[in-house]
Amino acid sequence: MQRGERLRAGCLKLWRVLDGLVALGILLPDGRRQIVCLSTPGDVVCPVSTQAVGDMWVEALTPSELEEIDLSAQHQNIGRDPGLTAALFSMVHQQVKCASAHLVTLGRLDGMERVCLFLADMAWRVGQDTPGGRRVHLPLNREDIADYLGLNAETVSRIFSRVKKAKLAIFLSPTDYLVTDMTALERRAPIGPTHRPTAAEDDAERQF
Amino acid sequence: MQRGERLRAGCLKLWRVLDGLVALGILLPDGRRQIVCLSTPGDVVCPVSTQAVGDMWVEALTPSELEEIDLSAQHQNIGRDPGLTAALFSMVHQQVKCASAHLVTLGRLDGMERVCLFLADMAWRVGQDTPGGRRVHLPLNREDIADYLGLNAETVSRIFSRVKKAKLAIFLSPTDYLVTDMTALERRAPIGPTHRPTAAEDDAERQF
DNA sequence: CGAATCATTGAACGTGCTCAACTTCCGTGG
DNA sequence: CCACGGAAGTTGAGCACGTTCAATGATTCG
């Protein structure tokens, strides 16, 4: 699946991300775009469409590999096969959690807070520990980030500069950065990153 | 359950709203509040908590009656009892849909669009047709509305005045309004209200 | 009737957006 | 190898929308 390629959302089809970075988003008639969630390898994308909302789609932000899970065949098994049901449920459950955190982010955090939360979250998701700190390769451009955070590309760029000045991250290139102190970065936002490892254990415990 | 009363979120307990208006929200350490979703009679509230996000709670915005659904007892039946599972699933599914629409609202719509969408949505949810138009009793105050829409109370009030001037709604009192032309109101927002009746059929069709 | 709460309105301010210029980075072709 | 062109990123100036703080008006409840 090439960068920029889009799949229309359909509710009986899910996709498991094997490789790349995939966005689930909504496109308004006038061109405004909102990315609802980002999915990295291992995640399952569950597009939900409503007539009320505009077109919802799954878009590859980098060349990606997706495995299609077509539930129409197994439709009857939902609710009968405990394993399948549990997996499905925990997936949707995860999506609700992400959405709730994202709602607070868009509704109540300012630009700096949103960006720091994003940088921390991406660091946990796709970053790797190195002697110099946690190194992250950002596989999205400024506009994608803006559409995820409810900002615009220029604003994201400006805030990145402020993050750099505040020494919260070192930008090696437009798509690579290094976080020497994750805690300092996280302290800038009043909520924690959704994908921090410790949170995962906590989540598992609370699941149905 | 009295107005203002709060229940801590816990994942194995759901509540069915029998009467009143209930909010599911998040409170940040510094006092900022974001209402994630509003529930009217018939809805089931499914609080999901994450360590990452602050306290999530269920709050009665008006005196409400809630029926507790404690799933810890039926835990084993999830995935075995098809009826129970389907019900649970469609509930969470509904919540994801609402959240997606709300995400676009907070991320990409301006104040006027948010308020018009809100007024239209509430009209479908709790309004009643009268000879003069669709009459709605709003059971929340300006601050609750603001916390739902990611604005502040003064701004909501100001936008209400603009809505009045634009003749999109007639305000009978701070908590009652009349919509003579639902279509005109809905046209002000680039996405449709989540609770419009026609949307419900469409949704049922797409459900798992 | 008085007090308290909520809603409305105004003025000043701040954050983020728009539009535009400029830079940097690549890939391509001369 | 260098020159050119396009795409993406950065930065600035001016503007618009929403916020903050404060004053006033309306409504409700004791």
Are B93 and A48 an interchain contact pair (Cβ–Cβ within 8 Å)? yes
Q: In which residue ranges of chain A is CATH 1.10.10.10 found?
A: 107-206
pLDDT in tens, chain A (208 residues): 777 778 876 655 778 899 999 999 999 999 999 999 999 988 888 777 777 787 788 889 988 888 887 766 555 566 566 666 667 767 777 788 889 999 999 999 999 999 999 999 999 999 999 999 999 999 899 999 999 999 999 999 999 999 999 999 999 999 999 999 999 999 999 999 988 876 444 444 444 4
User: In the beta sheet, which residues pair with residue B25?
Assistant: B35, B57
Cα–Cα dist A65/A71, whole Å: 19
Angle at B94 between CA B91 and CA B99, to 5 degrees: 130
Q: Which residues of B touch A206 (CB under 8 A)?
A: 11, 49
Task: Give per-residue burial for B79-89: e unless 16+ CB within 10 Å, then b.
Answer: beeeeebeebb
Cα–Cα dist B204/A153, whole Å: 38
Q: In which residue ranges of chain A is CATH 2.60.120.10 found?
A: 1-73
The helix/strand/coil state of A154 is helix
Cα–Cα dist B78/A86, whole Å: 8
Any chain A CB within 8 A of the CB of B57? Answer: no
Cα–Cα dist A25/A78, whole Å: 26
Any chain B CB within 8 A of the CB of A103? Answer: yes
**Confidence at residue A181, expressed as pLDDT on a 0 to 100 scale:** 96
Cα–Cα dist A187/A177, whole Å: 18
Cα–Cα dist A140/A23, whole Å: 10
Are B28 and A104 an interchain contact pair (Cβ–Cβ within 8 Å)? yes
Residue of B nearest to A12 (CA): B208
Q: In which residue ranges of chain B is CATH 2.60.120.10 found?
A: 1-74
Angle at B104 between CA B103 and CA B106, to 5 degrees: 65
pLDDT, mean over chain B: 85
DSSP per-residue letters across chain B: --TT-EEE--TTEEEEEEES-EEEEEE-TTS-EEEEEEE-TT-EE-----SSS-EEEEEESSS-EEEEEE-TTTGGGTTT-HHHHHHHHHHHHHHHHHHHHHHHHHHH--HHHHHHHHHHHHHHHH-EEETTEEEEE--S-HHHHHHHHTS-HHHHHHHHHHHHHTTS-EEEETTEEEES-HHHHHHTSSS--TT-HHHHHHHHHH--
Q: Testing the interface with B: which of A12, A33, A48 to mutate, by most B Cβ within 10 A?
A: A48
Cα–Cα dist A135/A166, whole Å: 18
* Cβ–Cβ < 8 Å for B53, A191: yes
Instruction: List CB-based contacts (under 7 A) with strand D.
Output: A 141-143, 153-154, 157-158, 160-161, 171, 174-175; B 110-112, 150-152, 154-155, 158-159, 173-174
Q: Which pLDDT band holds residue B116 (cuts at 50, 70, 90)?
A: very high
Which fold would CATH assign to domain A1-73? Jelly Rolls (2.60.120)
Cα–Cα distances in angstroms (integers) from residue B8 to residues A59, A97, B15, B68, B161, in the given order: 36, 16, 12, 13, 36
Are B192 and A53 an interchain contact pair (Cβ–Cβ within 8 Å)? yes
Q: Which residues of A touch B82 (CB under 8 A)?
A: 78-80
Are B96 and A93 an interchain contact pair (Cβ–Cβ within 8 Å)? no
As given in the structure block, the two tokens for residue A193 are 């990153």
E-assigned strand segments in chain A: 6-8, 13-19, 22-27, 33-39, 44-45, 55-60, 65-70, 128-130, 133-137, 170-173, 176-179
**Confidence at residue B12, expressed as pLDDT on a 0 to 100 scale:** 58
**Confidence at residue A119, expressed as pLDDT on a 0 to 100 scale:** 98
Pick the CATH number of B1-74 from 3.40.720.10, 3.40.30.10, 2.60.120.10, 3.40.50.10860: 2.60.120.10
**Confidence at residue B179, expressed as pLDDT on a 0 to 100 scale:** 97
**Confidence at residue B43, expressed as pLDDT on a 0 to 100 scale:** 87
Domain A107-206 has CATH 1.10.10.10: yes
Q: Give the global pTM.
A: 0.91
**Confidence at residue A78, expressed as pLDDT on a 0 to 100 scale:** 60
Cα–Cα dist A167/A180, whole Å: 9
Q: Which pLDDT band holds residue B51 (cuts at 50, 70, 90)?
A: confident
Q: Which residues of B touch A78 (CB under 8 A)?
A: 82, 85-86, 89, 208
Q: What is the mean pLDDT of residues B105-109?
A: 98
